[in-house]
């Protein structure tokens, strides 16, 4: 079992975010006798997944929807699959956008380097 601080450090997630995820019912940590949050290895795996979804720009509302579907049980498997496939398509678009942006930047950087080498040669 881990404390909220330990989980935050291990996963590089702020304790504020962890409390927010709890408030939004994305995660439900256990509580000890004093009422302190306690996280299991299963919680950590779930939070790693949530963190990746957030890093890939999945909106909190979609994560909440996925979480709720998961809690409802196996009969929601198709809905969960569809939600994840939709998000994967979004990621594929992001990747393509990043690749084309990278190519444009590479051209621009090459252009500047060529220009600067020409300017530096003429000053010599």
Q: How far apart are CA 8 and CA 19, in angstroms?
A: 10
Residues 87, 31, single domain; the answer is no
CATH of the domain at 20: 1.10.1660.10
Residues 8, 42, single domain; the answer is yes
Q: How far apart are CA 46 and CA 67, in angstroms?
A: 10
pLDDT for the residue numbered 118: 85
pLDDT truncated to tens, each residue of the chain (124 aa)?
A: 999 999 999 999 999 999 999 999 999 999 999 999 999 999 999 999 999 999 999 999 999 999 999 999 999 999 999 999 999 999 999 999 999 999 999 999 999 999 888 877 666 5
* Domain end call among 55, 74, 89: 55
In total, how many domains does the chain have?
Answer: 2
Give the alpha-carbon dihedral of 44, 47, 48, 49, to 10 degrees: 130
pLDDT for the residue numbered 12: 95
CA nearest to 66, candidates 15, 24, 14, 19? 24
pLDDT for the residue numbered 28: 94
List, as one string, the DSSP characters of 80-117.
HHHHHHHHHHHHHHHHHHHHHHHHHHHHHHHHHHHHHH
Please give the residue range of the domain that contains residue 83: 58-124
Residues 37, 90, single domain; the answer is no
């Amino acid at each position: 079992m881990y404390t909220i601080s330990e989980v935050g450090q291990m996963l590089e997630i702020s304790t504020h975010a962890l409390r927010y995820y709890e408030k939004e019912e994305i995660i439900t940590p256990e509580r000890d006798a004093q009422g302190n949050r306690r996280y299991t290895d299963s919680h950590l795996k779930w939070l790693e997944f949530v963190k990746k979804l957030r890093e890939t720009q999945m909106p909190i509302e979609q994560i909440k929807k996925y979480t709720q579907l998961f809690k409802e049980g196996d009969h929601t498997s198709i809905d969960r699959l569809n939600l994840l496939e939709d998000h994967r398509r979004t990621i594929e678009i992001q990747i393509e956008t990043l690749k084309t942006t990278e190519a444009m930047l590479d051209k621009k950087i090459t252009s500047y380097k060529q220009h600067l080498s020409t300017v530096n040669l003429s000053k010599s």
